[in-house]
Structure 1
Amino acid sequence: MRARLGLGTYRCRDVRRDAMMAASLGADWVDTAANYSHGQAENALAPVLVRHPDLKVSTKVGFIPADTGRIAVRAGMLTPADARRGHCLAPGYVAWQVTRSARRLGRAPDIVFVHNPEHDCPPGAVTERLYAAFLALEEACNQGVIKAYGVATWRGFSSGVFDVADLVALAVRAGGLNHHLSAVQLPVSVVHLAPVGLALDGLGVLVEAASAGLEVFASAPLHGGEIPDMVGLELAELITPGSTPAEAALAVVASAPGISRVLLSTGNPQHWSRAADAVGRAPLSQDLLRKVTDVLGT
């Protein structure tokens, strides 16, 4: 299955404007989080979702905006200590936050990602933290508050804290064989090439997720905008003749085995259209991907 371009709102300066732009140009997915845009990203997306009812949306639970923390403490859903830490996956808070997110978005999120479960957590405690969160998310799915859930992580896979088999086993434990775990999200770029190199050898998170029937969302495909400075014109020409370094880098990510969606943050219509074209082209050959990983390293 060919990867699709989705809007990632982490770096968007004006979430509503940027989401409206992306949707008007054919985007079918927007990814956000309860803590993005100082806790206001979900509210900003609500009118966009009304205007574009076919646009799917994912959000995240874990990191706590300051104002949300104060509200949750008053509601008895967070301890003051958890609010000060700024991250919580206790089942009571997860259930409360996903209901709040659905209300702010104006609809049930298509996916709620557990946001960096490894954050400020001893490695040995991550499994039970995830299990408790999965229990709450399974109940939210059964109640129709959300449609599915996943795990979004910056270093959980790369550091070996957990793997796809661990996540699937926890989902089965929490929800049975008909569990609602549907996706993972992780950084994939020419900076974070290790998942691509492993996938070319039939190994690693991308292949494991695809085998488990999970969608893979590639975050930070341009590594915060640093990619154009790393991919020279000669390498870009090798990857996709006539493309810019950014377009070539996006083509690499979109061509990686197992990638379902590439999340790009931009408010520029021209950048979006060129990125959508780069992601939508026929995948690069595995031989070419190997050359890129050899040149840039994994």
Structure 2
Amino acid sequence: MRTADRRIALGLYRTGHTRHLLEGALELGVTDLDTAFNYHHFASHRTLAAIAGDLLPAFTISTKVGYFPEGHDFDPARLRAAVEQSARELGRAPDTVLLHNPESSVESFADACAVLLEMRDAGLCKNWGFSTWDPRRLLEAHWAIPRPDVAMVRAGLTVSAAVLNAIDELVDRAEITELWGMAPFAGNADDSIWQTVDTSTFLLPGQQGGALQAGVATAFAIPEVTRLAVGTSVVEHLAEVVDGSRLEVSTERVTEYRVLLRERATVSAGALSRKDR
């Protein structure tokens, strides 16, 4: 994948909603925002419009629906109301609306997809899809859905072999042509593990990049995604992320890693099976 095909989205989960951060993002060329109906205590959309309504036209905005104060719910009427409310509060239709963690309401997945397709056709968003943290349970169910415009999944070196395999299967089953990534550091880029793992081994020779930057570049390849949502409240950190998106990774090294990851998972599963006998 060419670096020109990669986009960084500023993820607003546990990220401070400040005008300073949004202005900094635009200065860095980050023009994608990723939020959700339930982010910022169910006030993300209203807060964005209040602090930076004049900046929002410069962003491509993706949001998610599915969580409500009472919990996860894919009731069609509630989803429709949430999409409509999102557009009102933002002062514009979001570019993309995603079903939030459909694995939590698998039995309603197909109907929920139909609702978002309907919302797209009604002009309440330009694209629809779903965002899944762990698609394994989703794949256990029998469903038939219209092809989504986009799907968002976990990406990077923290994703297990089982989840990566499930993502591959999901892409084939749902005929996904646009795949986005999220959480390249599992929500904690400051974890000490990123100081001990040499992520630079995934980079093509002759490039300079720290652990975070190499981790970002690798996340675009594991699995292969065109957009990566990264949360931060610090503009300087976002600048590092943007620099990382410009680094090139070795496809051979990524392939070797995926093979080793699968082999290790197979060995571990075999050991557990023998232990249970």
Letter in 2 for 1:171: P
Residue 146 of structure 1: aligned partner: 125
Q: Is the 2:127–2:149 contact (alpha carbons within 8 Å) kept by the matching residues of 1?
A: yes
Secondary structure class of the residue paired with 2:86: helix
CA deviations over 1:137-169 (Å, ceiling 9, x no partner):
2221122111121111111x2x24238xx77x4
Aligned CA RMSD, in angstroms, stands at 3.0
| Cα distance in structure 2, aligned partners of 1:197 and 1:59 | 23
Q: What percentage of residue pairs aligned between the two structures are identical?
A: 27
**Pair 29,195 (structure 1): closer, same or farther in 2 beyond 3 Å:** farther
User: Do residues 89 (structure 1) and 66 (structure 2) align?
Assistant: no
SS of 1:53's partner is: helix
Cα shift at 1:251: 1.3
Unaligned runs of 5+ in 2: 266-277
Alignment of 1:1-298 (within 5 A): 1=1, 2-46=5-49, 48=52, 50-65=54-69, 84=70, 86-119=71-104, 121=105, 126-127=106-107, 129-155=108-134, 157=135, 159-162=136-139, 169-171=144-146, 181-194=148-161, 198=165, 204-205=168-169, 208=172, 212-226=175-189, 228-232=191-195, 235-240=198-203, 242-256=208-222, 258-282=224-248, 284-293=249-258, 294=260
Aligned match of 2:272: none
Shift in Å, 1:228:
4.7
Deviations 1:91-115 (A, max 9, x none): 1111111000011111111111111
Q: Structure 1 290/49 Cα, relative in aligned 2: closer, same or farther at 3 Å? A: farther
Amino acid corresponding to residue 170 of structure 1 in structure 2: I
Q: Distance in 2 between matches of 1:267 and 1:150?
A: 26
Q: Distance in 2 between matches of 1:205 and 1:106?
A: 37
For the residues of structure 2 that align with 1:258 and 1:188, how far apart are their CA atoms?
8
Counterpart CA distance in 2 for 1:279 and 1:273 is: 10
Do the aligned partners of 2:202 and 2:250 also contact (CA within 8 Å) in 1? no
Q: Is the 8 A contact 1:227 1:245 kept in 2?
A: no
TM-score by length of 1: 0.75
TM-score (norm 2): 0.80
Task: String of CA shifts for 1:153-188, please: whole Å, max 9, x gaps.
Answer: 111x2x24238xx77x4126xxxxxxxx21111211
Displacement of 1:37 in angstroms is 0.7
